[in-house]
């Protein structure tokens, strides 16, 4: 695929830095509050978040960071912008909205339908 990935790499790196700062601040605050030996960031977050909503936001930000790291790896490997399910190019409009996308819109919809069916 002859897509220029530089633009997407910059966007992903900016968002990665933003998320790392947010997650670092949350875990630092939690460690201060607790000053105890909880096993990992997840335990720390769960221990200090006043609501399930706060914890869900934390988990979503962690998941987004993982997706960004995966996208950056795909850029390095030269597979960025290719659907992991059907091997077709992901539409540029989709990547502009979600630069860490690993599925084309059709495969994404199939995955969502399957998830809903299995609930």
Q: What pLDDT digit, counting tens, does each position of 28-48 carry?
A: 877 776 666 555 666 656 665
Give the residue among 102, 106, 94, 103 at the shortest CA–CA distance from 75: 102
pLDDT of residue 1: 42
What's the pLDDT band for 119 if we cut at 50, 70, 90? Answer: confident
Cα separation, 66 vs 77, whole angstroms: 17
pLDDT (mean) for 56-65: 92
Q: How confident is the model at residue 9 (pLDDT cuts 50, 70, 90)?
A: very high
Question: What mean pLDDT is predicted for residues 50-77?
Answer: 89
Q: Which domains does the chain have, with CATH numbers?
A: 6-118 (1.20.120.910)
């Amino acid at each position: 695929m002859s897509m220029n990935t530089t633009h997407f790499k910059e966007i992903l790196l900016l968002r990665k830095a933003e998320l790392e700062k947010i997650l670092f601040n949350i875990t630092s605050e939690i460690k201060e509050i607790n000053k105890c030996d909880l096993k990992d960031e997840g335990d720390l977050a769960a221990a200090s978040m006043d609501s399930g909503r706060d914890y869900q936001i934390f988990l979503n930000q962690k998941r987004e960071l993982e997706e960004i790291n995966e996208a950056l790896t795909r850029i390095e490997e030269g597979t960025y912008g290719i659907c992991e399910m059907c091997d077709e190019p992901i539409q540029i409009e989709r990547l502009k909205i979600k630069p860490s996308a690993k599925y084309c819109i059709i495969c994404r919809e199939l995955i969502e339908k399957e998830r809903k069916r299995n609930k």
